[in-house]
Structure 1
Amino acid sequence: MLNIAENVWLFLVDAVSFFLVCGIYLGFKSSTSLPIYSEEFVKNDVDYMVPYQQPTLSAGLMSLLSHVTPVIFILVLCTLRALQKEGFNTGLKSQVPPQRLRQLKMPPAVAGGFLYTGYFFFGACLMGLLNKGVAHMVGRLSPNFLDVCKPDYSEETSVYTRQMCTGTEEDIVKASLSFPSEYAAHLSYGFLFNAAIVSCIPQLRKVPMTRLLCLFILVVLPILGGLSRYAEGFNHLVDVIVGIVVGFACSAFIVVNPLRLFGTLESTNSCTNEETIQPEDSKQTSDVAFQQTIS
């Protein structure tokens, strides 16, 4: 068993990794001076002539749906598990924080919320780095790029690049990073995380059709959100599909990880409070039965 000093040290190592990844991602996201592969386009290119319109899914709404709602779901789940430990019958497995958090004297609900929320945002930042890195290397222009770019056609040339644009630099940069769709990736990541939490609610296991409906809605909503970006000319269809795949894959990687974020994979009832016989218990049970048979 690790002592308190070793647990504090391990906790600090994880904290450094967390803030390093999140800091790099936020810096990467806010910077407009990072190099982008400049895709060329011709005058009045029909692939990029979709008129610009205000998005139905704004950046604030996207953040609310993909980042705030999972945190609320996590806090509710951790509170219910903590209540189970206090004797309330919530049907969930009681919250048992990792050893390092127990030795730091954190309450179970706080420790669970801290751990799960940290995993969620750590995975979101890793996915964001992957998404941004690919987008900058590919540099695919969005369907509404010409309306955003407002290129200077006074120069006599057969092809144009985004350096010849006269529009707002920030909007031009966003319109140059269409692949993969950032909105579709974040929505898919957050909603699949929500689906994993919903699958842990024991009351929904008693109504399987309602449970399937909830899971269906949580899976379909990010797909519809991504398709809205395609319909409004902010992304190509392939960009949206790849963004959804990236979001779902990263979310599954974080939820089904070696630490078993929402329970253990060895038990099919990992979220609920149903007991399973461990190998030691099974061996003791068989030994007792054998002794009774002999006597």
Structure 2
Amino acid sequence: MPRTNPGTELRSVFGRLLATVLACLLSAAHADEPLRNQLRDHSSPYLKLHGEDPVAWQDWGRAAFDTAQADGRLILVSVGYFACHWCHVMQRESYRNADIAARLNADFVAIKVDRERHPGIDARLIDFAERTVGRAGWPLNVFLTPDGYPLVAALYEPPARFAALLDRLAARWHSDPQGLRKLAVDAYREMESTASKQNVVPPIDTASARAALFRTALEYADTISGGFGQQAKFPMVPVLDALLNGCEQGDAPEDVCTFLITTLDHMAALGMHDHLHGGFFRYTVDPDWRTPHFEKMLY
């Protein structure tokens, strides 16, 4: 058996040790690198709009969650879409605000989601917002624990309130991460349990349900200007469609049908209708259907 040269063996061991040390140093240096905005060249037009934000936006995916877990940071998932007016307002006011961006980059892993690319994610987070704050919409901002349990939902917030929310969450997470995580896990399990019970739907008395619909519609109806409520006016298409069906079938009360005609006439004749280019705007900002919010939806 040939003898091994001690010098050669030592050089080999030293070489392996050096390679290991260099690999560890490179890995540590990479881990310490600040996150960078990943959206500049994204194929989604909406996400690409956020490519110049000072926030280090990450694309939705396993890598972002792995980073959050490795760093022990909370996650912000911000959902929007290209035609969303208030999404652009919040981008201008908050996500391009250097002070707010610094807060986000220091204490959170920020993920931007195009709801048209990830409708399933959007639906789950919308459900969480509706259950916890009683309303939902876009921009939809949901804060998660590093392992993905939802903590807090917020919609559009002015810059000062959004910055204060970031500060409160970061301070609570730094002082009591386990307690905050337990709250999130317990709340999630309770909501899942409630949802599973709600999936058992008892038989529906159709006639009683339709009568309740007509009665409730009149409780909220603006019988003078049409529509529902006394503030911004949305078309509420599924409700109007159900009322129209009731009028056509002959089982809706006469005052429901009168209200429906008033509503449709005002929607067609006033500001909700785009008289120049056709179609209808998403809603009017006033209760009289005169001042549209200049946004059209395809759904």
Q: TM-score, normalised by structure 2?
A: 0.22
Structure with the bigger percentage of helix = 1
Q: TM-score, normalised by structure 1?
A: 0.23
Q: Which has the higher contact order (CA 8 A, sep 6+)?
A: 1
